[in-house]
A and B are shown apart, each in its own frame.
Chain A
C-alpha cells in the first residue's frame, strides 16, 4: 500500500478558485463561443473576488508550507495574489471593452485569463523549483494564446515569437532546476537553502543552477539580454492582453525570484549579486536608450518595461527585508501605472487593428483631456517623478541597492531615469503642446475612463502617502522559514 500524501487543498485555495473558474469559463465558452460576453466578464470578476477573499483568509495562517513542502503560505504570497487579482480584474474589464467595442467575441479570453492568473498565483506561492517550473509553464501557455487571440498578422507573429523563445527559456529554467538538484539533491526552496548553508551541497553547481534559473525567469520579466521578444510581443498583442501580462507577469515572476534568489540561493548572495547588478544595469541602460528611438507608444512602453525590470532587479542586490519590500512596492506602483497606460493606449488605438504610433497621440490633450491627463499621470509615475508612486518606488529600490553598497548601480539607475524621463515626457509634450491632426479617434465611452481613474488614483495616493502600504509590504517581506 502506498501512503496517500497529505492533501492540504486549503493551502492553494486561491489557485484552485482561479483554475476552477477557468475550467468553468472554458467549458461555457465551448458552448457559447460567440454569445454575449458580459456573463463571462462578470463570472471572471466573481472568480477573482473569490480568489482574493481566500488569499486574505490565508493571511493569518500559522503554517509555513503545505502540500509536502510544495507551496508556501506566507504573506508574500498573499500580497502578491491580491495584487494579481487586482491586475486580473483590470485585464478582464479592458478585454471586455476591447472585444465589445469591435463586436469581436472571443470568450476563451476569460478562461485563458483565469488560467494565466492561476499559474501566477501558484508561482508566487511556489516553494519548490518543480512547482516554479510548472507554474511558469501554465502562465506562459495561457499568455501565448492570449497574445494571438485576435488572429491578426501582428498578434500571430508576436505569439509565435513569444512561444518559440519561451520554449527556449523553459529549457534554461528546467536545466537550472536540474543543476540545483544536482547541487543539493533536492528541489525544494527550503531544502536548497539548508543544503547550501550546510556541508552537503555543491556550491559551484548551485551557482550554475541559480544563474540558469535567473536566465529562465529573467526571460519572463524581460531582462537584457533576454528581452528581445518584449517589444514585438507587447506591440503585437491586443492592448488589454499587453496591459495584463506586462503587469501580472512581472509581479508573479519577481516574487518567485525573491524566493529563489533570496531564500533558496541566499547563501550565494555574494556570488550572485554582481551578475544581478550587471543584468539590472544592462536592462536599465538599454531599455531607456532604445525606448528613446521608438515612434510607437506601445513599443516605447515595451522598452520602458525592460528598463523598469532593471530598476526592480536592482533591489535584489540587497538581501535585506527592505529590498523585498522595495521590490514589492515597485511592482505594485509599476503595475498600476502600466495597466493604466496600456488601458489608455487601448482606448486611443481605435479598434482591433490597433494604431498606436505617435501621430495618434498628437494634440490629444485638446480633444481628450481626460484620457491625456490619465496617461500623463501613468507616464509620470513610470518616469519616477513626484508626487507619484513611481518616485517613491525608485527611492526605495535605490535605497535598498545603496545600503547593499551598490552605489554605481544606483548611479546608472539615476542616469537611466533621466533618459527615461525624456521619452515619457516627450509623449506628454506631444499630447499637451502640439496641434491635433486628423480625425478624432478616441473611444467615446465613459465607463473605461472611470475604471482607469482607479489606477491613476492609486498611483497618486501611493506617491503622496506611501506609508499606507509600506508597513504591510515590510510584513510581507518577512519570509517565514
Chain B
C-alpha cells in the first residue's frame, strides 16, 4: 500500500473535481461521495501503516515517485511523496479525523443549498493537506501550504452573503499571507544555500546533519517559523483565527482545529534538523509557543461565543505544541497534535450540534442547561472537555502534562511554571464553557433539538479517540506512538533535574483541579447573575480578555493610522513614481506602436531596408569579431 500512497491525494482530488463540476446535479449525494473519498484515502493510509509495521524501523522511510513529469538530461522533475512514520501519522490524522468530520458535515450541511461546492472545497482541502504532509520536498510542501490556505479562504467565506464571513475570509487570507511570504523567503534562502528543496538534502539524510552554518540555519529556521506562526495562528499573526469561526462549523473543526493550523507544528517538527543547528531558533519556537499558550488560554476566558472561545483554546493548545517542539520533544509535540485533533474536533462539532439545534446560537449567556434537551451533545462535549483539561487517564494528560513534566525534568523550570499556569487556565476555560452552556437553567427560548444519529455517530468515535487515545496509543515518551516516530524524530530522553515525575504528575492533576475548581466557583449555576453581568461590573478586565488583549484593535489602529498614512504615502509614491514609470512605459509602448506603422508601413522597400540593415549589422559584428 505504500506504493499506492498517491491515491490518498488523488481520490479526494478527483472527488473534489466531481463535486465542483457536477455538484448541482448530485445534490445531497455529494456529501456521501466526499465522505467515501476520504474513507478510501484513510484506508490506503492505514494500509501503508500496516505495511510499514512489517518493515524494520530503519526501512520505514520510503520515497514514492508518483509521476515523473519530465527528465531532461540530468535534471528530473518528478512528483515524489515521502512515506515515513511522521508523514503517515499526519496522513492518518488528516484522513481519519477528516472522514469523521465529512460524515458529520453531511448532516450539518443538510439544509444548505450548495452541498456540492462545500464538499468539493472540503475534499480539495484534504488533498492539499495530504500533499503538504506527504511531500518529499519543500516545493510540494509549499504547494500544499498555499493550497490549504486557499481552501481555508474559500470555506471561511463559504457563506459569502454574510458580511462577517466575507470579511473573516479576507482577514484570514491576508494575515496568513504574511507568514506565507516569510516561508517563501525561507525557501529562497534554502534554494540559494542548498540548491535543492529535497528533504534529504536540506534536512540531512540517514542521520547525517545538513551542511549549513549556524547563521544560515537560523535565518532559514526563523523564516520557516514565520510561516508556521501565520498558519498556526500564533502570536503575533493569530488575529485571523477567532474571526475564521464565521465559517461552517465542520470547517472550523477540520481546518481550524484538527489539521491546517497544525501544519505549522508539522513544519517545525519536520525541519527540526535545521532548527537544531541554529542555537536560537528553537528557543524562539519555545517562547512563541509558551506566549501563545498563555495568551490563548486567558483570551478564551473572556469569550462568550463558544466557537471563539474554542478558537482561542486551539491557539493555546498549538502554543503547547510549539513549546514541546521548541524544547526538543518532537514526538510529544506530535502526540499532542494527534490527541488535540480528536478532542478539539469533538468540541467544535458538539458546539456545531448546539448551533444546529438552536438556530446558530453560540452565546453562552443565552444557552445554559442544554444537557436536558441535548443529553448526547452534553455528554460528548464533556468528554472533549475532560480530554482537554488534562485529567488522567484521558489523552490531554498524556500529552500536555507530559510536555510540562519533560520540561521540568530537563531543567526548564520557567517553561514548567508558566506552562502549568497555562494548563490551569486550560482546565478553567473549558470547564467554564461546559458549566455555562450545558448545566444550570435554560436561558434560551423554545426547545433545542438533539442532533441526528448521523451527526452523533462520528462524534462518538471522536469521543472514544479523545478519551482513550492517551492510553491506547501510549502517547507518553516511551509509548507506542513516540517510539513509532523515533526513526524520524529521535528519542526523547527524560532529564533528571527538579522534582521526580511522580511529584510532577500529582502537581499537574492538582493544577488541573484548581482550574476546574475556579471555574466551578465562578460559573456554577448559582452564580449565573454574577458572571453574566461580569462585563458590566468589570468592564476593563472583561474587555481585555474578550478582545484578546486588544491586539486585534491595536492592529486595526496601526492599520488605520500608521498603515493608512503609510498607505497614503505609498499611494502617492505609487501614483507619481511607480505609475509614472509604468504609465511611462505604457505611453512609450503606445507611442512605439504608434511609430510602428512608419516602420511597418506595408511598403516593401522599407521592409527590404530593415532587412538590409539587419544583414549589415551582422556583417559589422563579423568584422568586429575578425
Residues of A within 8 A of B590 (CB): 293
Q: A274 vs B625: C-alpha distance in the bound complex, in angstroms?
A: 11
Chain B proximity mask over A159-171: 1 for CB below 8 Å, otherwise 0: 0110011001100
Q: Counting CB contacts under 8 A, is A275 at the interface?
A: yes
Partner of A214, one of B70, B611, B618: B618
Q: A364 vs B68: C-alpha distance in the bound complex, in angstroms?
A: 37
Partner of B611, one of A208, A225, A274, A321: A225
Known interface pairs A290-B600, A466-B69; A228-B610 also in contact (CB < 8 Å): yes
Q: Are A212 and B72 within 8 A (Cβ)?
A: no
Q: A271 vs B602: C-alpha distance in the bound complex, in angstroms?
A: 34
Chain B proximity mask over A189-221: 1 for CB below 8 Å, otherwise 0: 000000000000001100110011011001100
Q: Counting CB contacts under 8 A, is A399 at the interface?
A: yes
Chain B residue, CB-CB nearest to A322: B73
Residues of A within 8 A of B607 (CB): 161, 165, 228-229
Q: Counting CB contacts under 8 A, is B613 at the interface?
A: yes
Partner of B618, one of A229, A232, A275: A275
Q: Counting CB contacts under 8 A, is A231 at the interface?
A: yes
Q: A203 vs B596: C-alpha distance in the bound complex, in angstroms?
A: 38
Q: A204 vs B623: C-alpha distance in the bound complex, in angstroms?
A: 8
Residues of B within 8 A of A224 (CB): 614
Q: Are A292 and B622 within 8 A (Cβ)?
A: no
Q: Are B608 and A164 within 8 A (Cβ)?
A: yes
Chain B residue, CB-CB nearest to A163: B604
How far apart are A93's CB and chain B's nearest CB, in angstroms? Answer: 31
Q: A226 vs B613: C-alpha distance in the bound complex, in angstroms?
A: 9
Q: Counting CB contacts under 8 A, is A131 at the interface?
A: no
Q: Counting CB contacts under 8 A, is B457 at the interface?
A: no
How far apart are B211's CB and chain A's nearest CB, in angstroms? Answer: 25
Partner of B622, one of A208, A218, A289, A465: A208
Residues of A within 8 A of B604 (CB): 160-161, 164-165
Q: Are B608 and A168 within 8 A (Cβ)?
A: yes
Known interface pairs A289-B592, A293-B593, A293-B596; A215-B71 also in contact (CB < 8 Å): no
Q: A321 vs B193: C-alpha distance in the bound complex, in angstroms?
A: 29
Q: Are A211 and B618 within 8 A (Cβ)?
A: yes
Q: A289 vs B72: C-alpha distance in the bound complex, in angstroms?
A: 31
Known interface pairs A225-B610, A229-B607; A172-B615 also in contact (CB < 8 Å): yes
Q: Are A207 and B611 within 8 A (Cβ)?
A: no
Chain B residue, CB-CB nearest to A282: B614
How far apart are B624's CB and chain A's nearest CB, in angstroms? Answer: 10
How far apart are B184's CB and chain A's nearest CB, in angstroms? Answer: 18
Q: Are A168 and B596 within 8 A (Cβ)?
A: no
Q: A142 vs B398: C-alpha distance in the bound complex, in angstroms?
A: 84
Q: A219 vs B612: C-alpha distance in the bound complex, in angstroms?
A: 11
How far apart are A246's CB and chain B's nearest CB, in angstroms? Answer: 18
Q: Counting CB contacts under 8 A, is A467 at the interface?
A: yes
Chain B residue, CB-CB nearest to A294: B593
Q: Counting CB contacts under 8 A, is A442 at the interface?
A: no
Known interface pairs A161-B604, A165-B607, A215-B618; A225-B613 also in contact (CB < 8 Å): yes
Q: Counting CB contacts under 8 A, is A396 at the interface?
A: yes
Chain A proximity mask over B574-606: 1 for CB below 8 Å, otherwise 0: 000000000000000110110010011010101
A residues 316-349 touching B (CB-CB < 8 Å)? 321-322, 325-326
Q: Counting CB contacts under 8 A, is A258 at the interface?
A: no
Chain B residue, CB-CB nearest to A172: B615
Residues of A within 8 A of B621 (CB): 211, 274-275
Q: Counting CB contacts under 8 A, is A15 at the interface?
A: no
Known interface pairs A290-B596, A467-B70; A226-B611 also in contact (CB < 8 Å): yes
Q: Are A165 and B608 within 8 A (Cβ)?
A: yes
Residues of B within 8 A of A161 (CB): 604, 607
Residues of B within 8 A of A164 (CB): 604, 608
Q: Counting CB contacts under 8 A, is B503 at the interface?
A: no
Partner of A169, one of B589, B599, B611, B618: B611
Q: Are A215 and B615 within 8 A (Cβ)?
A: yes
Q: Counting CB contacts under 8 A, is B493 at the interface?
A: no
Residues of B within 8 A of A466 (CB): 69-70
Known interface pairs A275-B621, A392-B70, A466-B69; A228-B606 also in contact (CB < 8 Å): yes
Q: Counting CB contacts under 8 A, is A470 at the interface?
A: yes
Q: Counting CB contacts under 8 A, is B619 at the interface?
A: yes
Q: Counting CB contacts under 8 A, is B554 at the interface?
A: no
Q: Counting CB contacts under 8 A, is B55 at the interface?
A: no
Chain A proximity mask over B277-306: 1 for CB below 8 Å, otherwise 0: 000000000000000000000000000000
Interface centre among A168, A292, A396, A467 (most CB of B within 10 A): A467
Question: Can you pick out 10 interface pairs between chain A and chain B where the beta carbons lie within 8 Å of each other?
Answer: A207-B626, A208-B619, A226-B614, A228-B611, A289-B593, A293-B596, A321-B73, A322-B72, A396-B72, A467-B70
Question: Known pairs A225-B613, A321-B73. 19 more at Cβ < 8 A?
Answer: A165-B608, A168-B608, A169-B611, A207-B626, A212-B615, A215-B611, A225-B611, A225-B614, A228-B600, A229-B607, A271-B625, A274-B621, A275-B621, A290-B596, A292-B593, A325-B72, A326-B72, A392-B70, A467-B69
Q: Which 4 A/B pairs are nearest by Cβ-Cβ distance?
A: A293-B593, A228-B607, A225-B614, A204-B626
Using a CB–CB cutoff of 8 Å, the interface residues on chain B facing chain A are: 68-73, 75, 589-590, 592-593, 596, 599-600, 602, 604, 606-608, 610-611, 613-615, 618-619, 621-622, 625-626
